Homo-oligomer: A and B are copies of this chain.
């Protein structure tokens, strides 16, 4: 049911198959007055493309987005923003010989079970190529959030058995270190060990899993809803909806299960006129609502299912066979690396939606409508702004 949409007030709908003509996303509910430049999106796509390392299978040509609607003179109008990203570097030949095989760990089996047919070329809709749309939409969300002081960073926290040691919750510092490492790991020492792990897996025609962590600074308190739409629940849906995701945790996460309450509870303190907590075991939420402390979460990714090593399997009709990809087929040895920009994008999409939803939860916060002539028709206190477009 609208399973290709995400979000409530700031809502995206994505479409496109890996080896079809293009991928696309429609953003509905972006407030009017936000300046967007084509480069805002292309920069995010370029970050997703993964750069010039040997660890990810970048398509040959960089992705470039066309904004087909929703902007007028460079500013959002409140109309849906349609973004289209062509699929330039498509080669379906690797998939032809294996089209009748069930691919171990892959969704082609379950798509067949559900729909009775499957677009096998490049994985069709099940391909991680779909995440290019999330990243494009995330770039718009990020632009809006930046204007209210929210900073998001994601990075590789672990690959295989190697975990990074992260000693700060400062998003900018982490981003700086991350951006100078080929595996997006801000702890360069651990990062070198990770490189060895990925290289080994690749040489063996295998893949390896990993963990991506995100940290958000500057998030206002009060975002998220009690009960079913807790902020961590929305983040959980977003992260567990990523290709290859197998786990999600906030703050101490699974470690909290082994802690005592007296140890895990974050003490409230007053600092510079604001309430804060002395520690941040909670990871930035209490009871589903943001505290104003850094938001901290982690996503576990399984090793990619597509590997060069031959694998025993069966065909659609149940006959035993061996799956062996052609030698020229391209696979990521570690999808967690590629997931970094996608995690950032999904965090941004969750937060911008929570932010908009938080605009009408108190009687004393809601305001009467706008007036073209600058006079509020109903109350003297209407927050009229004469400048319709505001640069964030």
Contact = CB atoms under 8 A, between A and B. Distances in A.
A79 B16 CA distance: 8
Contacts of A252: 246, 302
A372 B289 CA distance: 14
A312 B372 CA distance: 19
A46 interface: no
Contact of A72 (B3, B107, B117, B389): B117
A109 to B, nearest CB: 6
A229 B241 contact: yes
A344 interface: no
Interface in A299-314: 300-307, 309, 311-314
Interface string A205-243: 011111100000010111111111110111111111101
Given A2-B29, A124-B77, A262-B311, A373 B273 contact: yes
A57 interface: no
Contacts of A117: 32-33, 72, 75, 77, 388-389
A115 B302 contact: no
A223 B15 CA distance: 21
A124 B72 contact: yes
Oligomeric state, in copies: 4
Contacts of A222: 110, 113-114, 369-370
Contacts of A361: 31-32, 78, 114-115
B221 A230 contact: no
Interface in A83-106: 84, 102, 104-106
B15 A258 contact: no
A347 to B, nearest CB: 14
A176 interface: no
A37 B373 CA distance: 38
A114 B268 contact: no
A289 B114 contact: yes
24 contacts: A4-B26, A15-B79, A77-B117, A102-B275, A105-B261, A107-B226, A107-B288, A109-B275, A110-B291, A113-B372, A116-B370, A130-B227, A147-B363, A209-B257, A228-B241, A233-B238, A235-B240, A246-B253, A247-B249, A264-B302, A267-B313, A317-B373, A359-B359, A365-B370
A68 to B, nearest CB: 6
Interface stretch (A165-173, A177-185, A378-386): A378-386
Nearest to A13: B13
Contacts of A115: 32-33, 77-78, 361-362, 388
A371 B274 contact: yes
Contacts of A2: 5, 8, 11, 28-29
A378 to B, nearest CB: 4
**The 3 A-B residue pairs with the shortest CB-CB distance in the complex, in nearest-first order:** A107-B287, A220-B369, A116-B388
